[in-house]
Copies of this chain bind each other. A is one copy, B any other.
Amino acid sequence: MNIQRYQELISAELDVFANSLPKSPDNLYEPIRYTLTLGGKRMRPLLTVMGAGLFTDEPGPSLPAAIGIELFHNFTLLHDDIMDNAPLRRGKATVFAKWNSNIAILSGDALYTEAFRQVAKSPAAVLPQVLDIFTQTALEVCEGQQMDMDFESRSDVSIAEYIRMIELKTAVLLAGAMEIGALCGGADRAEAHKLYEFGRRVGIAFQLQDDILDVYGDPDKFGKQVGGDIVSNKKTYLLLTALSRANGYHKENLLNWLQSDVNDAEAKVNAVKEIYDAFEVRKAAEAEMHNQFSLGIQALESIKADPSKIAMIKSVAESLMVRQH
């Protein structure tokens, strides 16, 4: 089965889900329907059915978990937007902004419940393992979000802590999506766990890529303002590397840009980029990204399954790695 067919299946299942939601109370379910219309690449459910597809030609048993994981991801965005006070997501008003904080909290809780309900429809034979991975992953995503919030007010974040944070906040869900798919597809635990490792490593690589693109990406293709992370002092891999490498005048200069109120955002972005260049920060981030990605591909290629299916997953991962250059 090819990727387009998988994507059609997922899209159809998400429509079935959205259409089956109750009408009332409107303030509980309308924000959920709205959230699902905001779109997204539906990458996580694709990973789940592709993970299953490595071990079976019948993606059906992995579909509820795939939908559940996509719903969970949307739930995390819904609550994150409250915590970040974010007015927009994908160019449209967030639930928090369109309704209010209370409605965003409660409809998020309901969406999380629906996510769990879908995952619970996984095949009975693997249900306990699937739930174990799902709940562990969900908890780690919460831990990653908390670490991210804690980092905002800390000045001593290490690069290792940063990698751990993006692993928890972003990568483990890609990893869990694949491992759960594999188990639903009949994989044994050892093979399924190799897919987890693949998802975890490429997930870290994707986030490092996002950090790099925020500074060095083509704004037309990237769709965001270049240097947004620099403007907001976000502690990315790049900034933490610069802070660890810079010294003397450069360090003082960098700290000055971080600590002072800046009116001229472009000047700040350019100045910080100059410091990044001076300490070859981009090269360090790219090296770490490629290293993580290679370790992921290595895990993928060690799986005992049809080589053409492994190649398909590898090509999807590779296409995501260069998607915004």
A116 is an interface residue with CB less than 8 A from chain B: yes
A139 is an interface residue with CB less than 8 A from chain B: yes
Q: Mark A128-145, 1 if CB is under 8 A from B, else 0.
A: 100110011011001101
A229 is an interface residue with CB less than 8 A from chain B: no
Interface size for A (C-beta < 8 A) is 36
| Cross-chain contact B120 with A25 (CB below 8 angstroms) | no
Select which of B82, B113, B132, B142 is within 8 A of A28 by beta carbon.
B142
Q: Which residues of B contact A136 (CB under 8 A)?
A: 117
Q: Which residues of B contact A27 (CB under 8 A)?
A: 146, 149-150
CB contacts under 8 Å to B, within A107-127, are 109-110, 112-114, 116-117, 120, 124, 127
| Cross-chain contact A131 with B135 (CB below 8 angstroms) | no
Nearest-neighbour CB distance to chain B for A163, whole angstroms, equals 16
Nearest-neighbour CB distance to chain B for A107, whole angstroms, equals 8
Q: Which residues of B contact A131 (CB under 8 A)?
A: 116-117, 120, 131
A147 is an interface residue with CB less than 8 A from chain B: yes
| Cross-chain contact B120 with A135 (CB below 8 angstroms) | yes
A299 is an interface residue with CB less than 8 A from chain B: no
Complex alpha-carbon distance, A120 and B137, angstroms: 14
Complex alpha-carbon distance, A25 and B83, angstroms: 17
| Cross-chain contact B105 with A83 (CB below 8 angstroms) | yes
A106 is an interface residue with CB less than 8 A from chain B: yes
CB contacts under 8 Å to B, within A128-176, are 128, 131-132, 135-136, 138-139, 142-143, 145-147, 149-150
Select which of B28, B113, B117, B120 is within 8 A of A146 by beta carbon.
B28
Copies in the complex: 2
Nearest-neighbour CB distance to chain B for A250, whole angstroms, equals 32
Complex alpha-carbon distance, A135 and B79, angstroms: 19
A102 is an interface residue with CB less than 8 A from chain B: yes
Complex alpha-carbon distance, A127 and B79, angstroms: 29
| Cross-chain contact A25 with B135 (CB below 8 angstroms) | no
Nearest-neighbour CB distance to chain B for A86, whole angstroms, equals 12
Complex alpha-carbon distance, A48 and B163, angstroms: 42
Nearest-neighbour CB distance to chain B for A55, whole angstroms, equals 22
| Cross-chain contact B120 with A128 (CB below 8 angstroms) | yes
Complex alpha-carbon distance, A135 and B120, angstroms: 9
| Cross-chain contact A147 with B25 (CB below 8 angstroms) | yes
| Cross-chain contact B79 with A142 (CB below 8 angstroms) | no
Complex alpha-carbon distance, A139 and B28, angstroms: 10
Q: Look across to chain B and name the residue whose beta carbon is closest to the beta carbon of A102.
A: B83
Select which of B105, B114, B146 is within 8 A of A79 by beta carbon.
B105
| Cross-chain contact A135 with B113 (CB below 8 angstroms) | yes
Q: Which residues of B contact A28 (CB under 8 A)?
A: 142-143, 146
19 contacts between A and B (CB under 8 A): A25-B146, A25-B147, A27-B149, A28-B146, A79-B105, A82-B102, A83-B102, A102-B149, A106-B149, A109-B112, A110-B143, A112-B112, A113-B139, A116-B131, A116-B135, A116-B138, A117-B139, A120-B128, A120-B131
